[in-house]
Chain A
Amino acid sequence: AKNQKTLAAFFTKK
């Protein structure tokens, strides 16, 4: 099964 990732896994907080 595939899990939905959140954007925090790819983009850093400014």
Chain B
Amino acid sequence: MLEARLEQASILKKVVDAIKDLVQDCNFDCNDSGIALQAMDNSHVALVSMMLKSDTFSPFRCDRNIALGINLNSFQKVLRCAQNEDILTLKADDSPDVVSLVFESSEQDRISEYDIKLMDIDQEHLGIPDTEYAATITMPSGEFQRICRDLSALSESVAIEAEKNAVKFVCNGDIGNGAISLRNHSSVEKPEQNVNIELSEPVALTFSLKYLVNFCKASGLSGSVKLCLSNEVPLLVEYELASNSYLRFYLAPKIGD
């Protein structure tokens, strides 16, 4: 059986809020290492990969591999019934028809119990190769969100160009063009504004802004975001969570003929 207790319901609320416009029905794969999810959007252009390690939960117990097939719309409806500060416990049998959620208020003596009916989801799993990326950019998640939102008003796609000490986001649209450059920046006083660019070779790739704007819905999960790029491979956008957990998005590039 599965029993996983989260100190704060907000983590799961934010994860589901962040991915539910990209993927609809997902298997939450539970085993003794934690709860994982991998799902592609309908067009097979973007992929969500979530890992909530067992250390994220306290306690965490999962004796067998259990796949919880959940409709994310339904999940969101139930998670909205939890206060952000509530303690959240997920429970399921070994061959479950439902997943149970218990929300406990730490301040009040209130316990809320919900069940969500599970579905059989036949999901394609992709093997994602370990990649040594040519460029890794760490920047404030809010800054990345602003850039994607601003450029999406001008164009459908953005070119991300990483070179030594600088990364440039460039778009060309019908009404005009835009470009935002960021340089390495580190401040002891405001480390949350740091930009770090690690580069082994220059990279320039073009991506659909529609998907990037969608990924940025995860900005509330982490103050910083990591962009990993190599020429002619999908972009990795990673939001790191506590206890080595993460929410990752992969986006296939647009490539010329």
Contacts and interface: CB of A to CB of B under 8 A. Distances in A.
Interface of A: 1-14
Which among B46, B126, B129, B233 has the greatest number of chain A C-beta atoms within 10 A?
Answer: B126
B195 to A, nearest CB: 27
Interface in B230-257: 233-234, 250, 252-257
B126 A12 contact: yes
Contacts of B254: 2-5
Contacts of B43: 6
Contacts of A11: 47, 126-129, 234, 250
B112 to A, nearest CB: 37
Interface of B: 40, 43-47, 124-129, 157, 206, 208, 233-234, 250, 252-257
B208 A4 contact: yes
Given A10-B233, A10-B234, A13-B124, A3 B256 contact: yes
A3 to B, nearest CB: 6
A13 B127 CA distance: 6
A10 B44 CA distance: 11
Given A3-B256, A5-B253, A10-B252, 10 more contacts: A2-B157, A5-B45, A5-B254, A5-B255, A6-B252, A7-B252, A10-B233, A13-B125, A13-B127, A14-B125
Contacts of A8: 44, 126
B190 to A, nearest CB: 36
Nearest to B38: A14
A5 B252 contact: yes
A10 to B, nearest CB: 5
A7 B184 CA distance: 30
Contacts of B129: 11
Contacts of B47: 7, 11
A7 B133 CA distance: 17
* 10 interchain residue pairs of minimum CB distance: A2-B254, A11-B126, A14-B125, A5-B252, A6-B44, A12-B127, A14-B127, A2-B256, A7-B252, A4-B254
